């Protein structure tokens, strides 16, 4: 097998759709040929960057705020995230949660939004500029946390809330309904019993905590948290989001609501 033929197959080899036999031939050659090895590294890096690029543009806030009451979680509309944080999560957030009409779930024609965006743009730009993301150690993992400068939740409480959300997600991927029940309020338990499938995720898939928000606190004492996730299961190769409402009941932190865009 000569180098030119190997180079011709590098792309498919990196992408992962070369047949197993052929892939073995390429792998063997790369071991023994530094020139092709270097070409492989460059190809792999470039393709990795391109794949990342494909998921890196998210729609700005382009959804009408619905007038209809949400189906499952009235508190969702009261989330007091700053505009900047909401903007970061706009691609996956509030609009999809509970809007009944499909017209409100599709992106609104951009042109109609132009005027309003123009007036808001300056304010949003300054808020985005002041937005910081820091790595925080949560549940043994380093998780990027979008900081909310206006949050009034003490750091230890925020960490407890974030830890609980992380444990909850891990139990979802482990298929551990018992553990989920144990982490929930009466309200969550009832919903879990009625719709267990809404809580279960791809069993055994590897889960990545891509981003979390700071914790916000509503006037009725509910702690709010967005968690952005990726997993190794096929259908969610892009990030998705879980929205948590967490309450403190008799000294224990419990999940009162979890919604995945619905």
Partner 1 sequence: MDEIELVERARNGDERSFALLVRLHERSLFATAYAIMRSEWDAADAVQDALAEAYAKIGALRNAVAFKAWLTRILVNRCYAVLRKRKHDVLTADPPEPEAYTHLGREEGLDLMRAVRSLDLEHREVIALRYFRDMKLTEIAEVLDCPLGTVKSRINRALGRLGSALGSNPFVEVAE
Footprint on this chain of partner 1 (rule: CB under 8 A): 4, 7-8, 10-12, 15, 17, 39, 42-43, 45-47, 49-60, 62, 87-88, 91-92, 96, 99-102, 105-107, 109-110, 114, 117-118, 121, 125, 197, 233-238, 240, 261-262
Distance between CA atoms of 241 and 141, rounded to whole angstroms?
18
Task: Give the one entry of partner 1, Zn ion, none that residue 3 binds, where binding means its C-beta sits below a cut-off of 5 to 8 angstroms depending on kind.
Answer: Zn ion
Q: 31-50 mask for Zn ion (x: CB under 5 A)? A: --x--x--------------
Whichever of 45 and 218 has its CB closer to partner 1, that residue is: 45
For residues 217 and 231, the answer to whether their CB atoms sit within 8 Å is no
Minimum CB–partner distance for residue 8 and Zn ion (Å): 11
Residue 109 binds which of partner 1, Zn ion, none (CB < 5-8 A, kind-dependent): partner 1
The Cα angle at residue 249 between residues 248 and 250, in degrees rounded to 5 = 120
Nearest CB to partner 1, comparing residues 43 and 185: 43
Q: Which residues contact 76 (CB under 8 A, 6 or more apart)?
A: 70, 94, 97, 98, 243, 245, 259
Please say which residue, 3 or 133, places its beta carbon nearer to Zn ion.
3
Question: Which one of Zn ion, partner 1, none is in contact with 197 (Cβ closer than 5 to 8 A by kind)?
Answer: partner 1
Task: Give the dihedral sign, CA 44/45/48/50.
Answer: negative
Instruction: Give the CA-trace dihedral at 172, 257, 215, 131, to 10 degrees.
Output: 80
- Residue with smaller CB distance to partner 1, 193 or 262: 262
How far, in Å, CA of 247 to CA of 140, rounded? Answer: 23
Q: Under DSSP, is residue 19 helix (H, G, I), strand (E, B) or coil?
A: coil
**Binding partner at 33 among partner 1, Zn ion, none, C-beta below 5 to 8 Å by kind:** Zn ion
**Nearest distance in Å: CB 260, partner 1:** 8
Q: Name every residue whose Cβ is closer than 8 Å to that of residue 83 and which is 6 or more positions away in sequence.
A: 123, 124, 127
Residues belonging to the chain: 262
Please state the closest distance from residue 29 (CB atom) to Zn ion, in A.
6
CA 110 – CA 156 distance, rounded (Å): 42
Q: Which is nearer to partner 1, 34 or 251 (CB)?
A: 34
The residues that touch Zn ion, with contacts defined as CB under 5 A, are: 3, 33, 36
């Amino acid at each position: 097998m000569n180098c030119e033929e190997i180079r011709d197959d590098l792309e498919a080899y990196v992408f992962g759709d070369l047949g197993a036999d052929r892939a073995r031939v390429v792998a063997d050659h790369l071991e023994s040929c530094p020139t092709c090895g270097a070409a492989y590294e460059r190809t792999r890096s470039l393709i990795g960057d391109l794949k990342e690029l494909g998921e890196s543009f998210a729609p700005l806030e382009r959804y009408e705020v619905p007038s209809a009451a949400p189906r499952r979680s009235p508190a969702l509309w009261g989330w007091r995230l700053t505009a900047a944080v909401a903007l970061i999560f706009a691609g996956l957030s509030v609009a999809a949660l509970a809007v009944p009409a499909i017209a409100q779930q599709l992106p609104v024609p951009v042109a109609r939004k132009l005027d309003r965006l123009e007036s808001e743009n300056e304010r949003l730009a300054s808020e985005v500029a002041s937005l910081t993301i820091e790595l925080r150690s949560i549940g043994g993992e380093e998780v990027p946390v979008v900081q909310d400068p206006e949050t009034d939740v003490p750091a230890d409480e925020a960490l407890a809330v974030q830890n609980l959300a992380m444990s909850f997600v891990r139990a979802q991927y482990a298929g551990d309904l018992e553990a989920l029940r144990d982490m929930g309020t009466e309200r969550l338990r009832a919903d879990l019993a009625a719709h267990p499938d809404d809580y279960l995720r791809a069993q055994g898939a590897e889960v990545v905590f891509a981003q979390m928000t700071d914790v916000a606190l509503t006037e009725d004492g509910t702690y709010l948290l967005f968690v952005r996730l990726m997993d190794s299961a096929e259908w969610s190769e892009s990030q998705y989001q879980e929205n948590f409402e967490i309450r403190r009941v008799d000294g224990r932190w419990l999940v009162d609501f979890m919604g995945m865009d619905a």
